[in-house]
Every structure is written in structure tokens, then in C-alpha cells.
């Protein structure tokens, strides 16, 4: 079933073609570590720009590159959650522990982990093992509310992409549940799983633009235009929907010809630079490589590999059928429960424009 709210979670392409810089001469040596049959072997071989090592082991290939650039952390978004947010940041790995991969509402595996996620078919839905209406603890992720220093137990996912003359750094936020908005007096657009992101574009290590995802699209700004805390662009995360905005207050957007609102405020600071999984994405080969990380997320990612980011299935339940007692729909426009979103690889990481939807990308010079 095709979700009536596909546009609300912005499924983009894998990334359009982008020009590449000529490759520099290969470094004379790199380290290839082969684990298997109880032996550890080292080999010498040329390697491309930025690649530091390859680790081959069961069950997936882990490719290591340079760390996330220092400036990507210096200018990381200063993320402010809503003060009364019910659905706090979540760890994607923990989310998998509470879901079952299903196709057409039938299980295709007992469970999955980040390590083997990409072995699932693209038409699978990571379906909640609990009725979302019972509000299980993992769905709320209350324990992941950031502390006074901004540290959340839920790792962010930071992905750097080298392009022609600039680097885009994506800061992905994951939540196990998205609570929808009010339309004609009813709540529509609830879904299990929620990926949102902001992106900062860098030229020679200096930030030039910022993109904030919100529902089906988002907002692009010059770096100078967006409010900042020190050097860090402020991102306000909306209550329930987790859409990202540049200001606090009531945010208006149009859906199905009706004016809908989100609410943002100066809530808890979530410092994504303190706990994250870090990666590089090569748009020309559609591959991810590890860039290390920080906190629990950084400690876990070597064992997890990077292939999980390639999976193109849905991170939540399939839209419930009309005869499900939890379901009701609004004039066939949208439903109370819609399908879960796809992951980071579907958010046009290879974009040349600042916006995820590259057609008619407007760069705002004020908020």
C-alpha cells in the first residue's frame, strides 16, 4: 500500500549525479586487515584520497576513512528540542530490538540488527512489536532526553559528503515515533520511526549554507542569515513531528490546502557532537565508509559496519488498513497512522543544490 503521506517524510532519491574533483595521486601505503580462520593478515596496497583502512570480517565489510572534519563539529547545529516533547531522540540500534521486519504485514525475519539490516528486502517495514497506542517506553525514549550538558544517550548520525568544491555535512536525528498534526480537528500522520536532518555546506572549511528538513521539504538559508549560538546554527525541533525550524514559536505550513502549525521553543539543548556515529558517503559509488564517532555511538559503529545506511526500506509500520480499529483517514488525503519513513540514503545526500528537492530551491537570506 502506498502511503497517503509519503510526501510528509520526504522520500528523496539516492542523490543525483555530481561532478567530482580529479583524484590526487594515491598514497603509497594503506592497511588492509583481514580477519578470518583465526588469523590476522596485513597487506600493503594503494588507496584513494581520504581512505585509511579496510577491515574485512564477518558479516560485513567495514571501510574506514578520515574522521569527520573538526569544522563539522565546531559548526554542528545547536539543536533545541521542544520543552514538553513526549517522543525523545532514539537510538536506531535500540529501535531494531523492538521491531520485526514485515512485508504485507507478514514477518520475513524474527529480528534484525544494524549489522545485517541491509540484507532485508527494500519493501520491508520495521514493524513495532508493541501497539504504539500503548506508548511503550522504547517508543517514548524518555531516558534519552539530553542532560544539562546536551548529552543524549541516543546517538546522532553525521554523514559527510565530498563534492565538487564543497563538503556537505548531514546531521541526522532519529526518533522512534512521530506524533502527527491536527487537520480538521483530528490528528493525522502518526508513524513509527522518524528520520529528520539538518545540513551545513562548507567551502574550504567555512560554513556557507544551512538546510533544515521539515515534513515533505525544508528550508535553505545562508549561514549568515540563520540565528546562532556562538558559531553553531540554532535548530528548533517541533513538538511531536520533529520538523526543523530556524526560529522558536508557532510555525505555519500548508498541507492539502489547509494551514497547519508546528510548535517550537527554547527547550533542552541536544548536542549532537557529543554522541554520534560518523560516516563518509561517496555519491559516485553509493557507498558509506566509517569516519569514527563520539560517545556510545562512536564506540559501537565499528562492530555495526556502515552497510545499514544503504537499506532503502521503511523504518516503521506499514500504513494500517482502513479496517484497523486504530485507523481513520481524512477525506482520503491522509490517515491517522501512515507508513514509516525511509532512512538517510533516501534523502538526496548527493544533492548539488542546498535543498533536498533541488527543483526551485530558494535560499533564504533572513528568517
pLDDT at 55 over 80: no
User: Where a domain ends, among 38, 58, 78?
Assistant: 58
Print the domain residue range for 260.
67-364
- Asked if residue 11 belongs to a domain, the reply is no
- Asked if residue 287 belongs to a domain, the reply is yes
Share of the chain above pLDDT 70, in %: 83
What is residue 354's predicted lDDT score, i.e. its pLDDT? 99
pLDDT at 121 over 80: yes
- Which residues is 271 bridged to in the sheet? none
User: Where a domain ends, among 10, 34, 58?
Assistant: 58
Is 42 in the same domain as 173? no
User: Where a domain ends, among 58, 75, 105?
Assistant: 58
Is 51 in the same domain as 73? no
pLDDT at 361 over 90: yes
DSSP 175-225: EEEE--EEETTEEE-BEEEEEEEEEEEEETTEEEEEEEEETTEEEEEETTT
- Asked if residue 198 belongs to a domain, the reply is yes
Closest residue by Cα to residue 229 from 209, 246, 211, 208:
246
Is 29 in the same domain as 152? no
Is 283 in the same domain as 168? yes
- Asked if residue 94 belongs to a domain, the reply is yes
What is residue 331's predicted lDDT score, i.e. its pLDDT? 80
- Asked if residue 5 belongs to a domain, the reply is no
Where residue 52 falls among pLDDT bands split at 50, 70, 90?
very low
Is 160 in the same domain as 45? no
pLDDT at 203 over 90: yes
CA atoms in the 13 A half-sphere facing the CB of 118: 16
Between strands 206-214 and 191-203, the pairing is: antiparallel
- Asked if residue 16 belongs to a domain, the reply is no
Measured between alpha carbons, how far apart are the two ends of the chain, in Å? 38
Is 217 in the same domain as 312? yes
pLDDT digits (tens, 9 = 90+) for 218-277: 999 999 999 999 999 999 999 999 999 999 999 998 887 778 999 999 999 999 999 999
Is 115 in the same domain as 213? yes
- Asked if residue 50 belongs to a domain, the reply is yes
What is residue 42's predicted lDDT score, i.e. its pLDDT? 29
Is 51 in the same domain as 80? no
Tally of structural domains, the chain: 2
Buried b (16+ CB within 10 A) or exposed e, 63-101: bbbebbeebbbebbbbbbbbeebebbbbbbbebbebbbb
Is 194 in the same domain as 305? yes
- Asked if residue 206 belongs to a domain, the reply is yes
Is 53 in the same domain as 108? no
Is 340 in the same domain as 256? yes
Query: Between 47 and 252, where is the model more confident?
Result: 252
Is 33 in the same domain as 149? no
Amino acid at each position: 500500500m502506498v502511503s497517503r503521506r509519503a510526501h510528509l517524510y520526504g522520500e528523496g532519491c539516492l542523490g543525483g549525479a555530481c561532478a567530482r574533483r580529479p583524484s590526487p595521486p594515491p598514497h603509497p601505503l594503506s592497511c588492509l586487515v583481514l580477519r578470518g580462520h583465526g588469523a590476522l593478515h596485513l597487506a600493503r596496497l594503494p588507496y584513494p584520497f581520504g581512505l585509511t583502512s579496510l577491515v574485512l570480517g564477518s558479516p560485513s565489510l567495514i571501510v574506514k576513512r578520515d574522521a569527520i572534519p573538526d569544522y563539522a563539529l565546531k559548526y554542528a547545529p545547536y539543536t533545541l528540542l521542544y520543552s514538553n516533547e513526549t517522543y525523545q531522540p532514539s537510538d536506531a540500534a535500540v529501535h531494531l530490538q523492538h521491531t520485526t521486519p514485515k512485508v504485507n504485514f507478514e514477518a520475513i525475519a524474527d529480528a534484525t540488527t544494524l549489522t545485517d539490516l541491509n540484507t532485508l528486502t527494500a519493501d520491508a517495514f520495521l514493524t513495532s512489536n508493541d501497539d504504539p497506542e500503548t506508548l511503550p517506553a522504547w517508543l517514548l525514549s524518555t531516558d534519552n532526553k539530553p542532560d544539562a550538558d546536551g548529552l543524549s544517550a541516543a546517538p546522532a548520525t553525521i554523514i559527510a559528503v565530498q563534492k565538487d568544491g564543497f563538503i556537505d555535512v548531514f546531521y541526522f536525528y532519529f526518533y522512534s515515533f512521530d506524533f502527527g498534526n491536527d487537520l480538521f480537528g483530528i490528528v493525522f500522520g502518526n508513524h513509527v520511526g522518524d528520520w529528520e536532518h539538518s545540513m551545513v555546506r562548507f567551502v574550504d572549511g567555512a560554513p556557507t549554507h544551512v538546510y533544515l528538513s521539515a515534513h515533505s521539504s525544508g528550508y535553505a538559508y545562508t549561514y549568515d542569515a540563520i540565528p546562532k549560538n556562538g558559531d553553531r546554527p540554532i535548530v528548533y525541533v517541533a513538538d511531536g513531528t520533529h520538523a526543523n525550524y530556524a526560529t522558536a514559536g508557532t510555525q505555519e505550513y500548508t498541507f492539502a490546502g489547509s494551514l497547519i502549525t508546528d510548535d517550537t521553543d527554547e527547550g533542552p539543548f541536544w548536542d549532537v557532537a557529543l554522541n554520534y556515529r560518523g560516516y563518509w558517503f561517496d555519491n559516485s559509488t553509493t557507498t558509506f565508509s566509517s569516519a569514527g564517532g563520539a560517545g556510545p555511538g562512536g564506540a559501537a559503529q565499528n562492530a555495526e559496519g556502515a552497510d545499514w545506511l544503504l537499506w532503502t526500506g521503511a523504518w516503521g509500520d506499514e500504513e494500517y488498513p482502513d479496517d484497523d480499529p486504530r485507523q481513520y483517514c481524512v477525506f482520503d488525503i491522509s490517515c491517522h497512522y501512515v507508513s514509516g519513513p525511509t532512512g538517510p540514503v533516501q534523502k538526496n545526500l548527493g544533492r548539488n543544490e542546498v535543498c533536498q528537492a533541488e527543483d526551485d530551491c530558494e535560499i533564504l537570506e533572513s528568517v
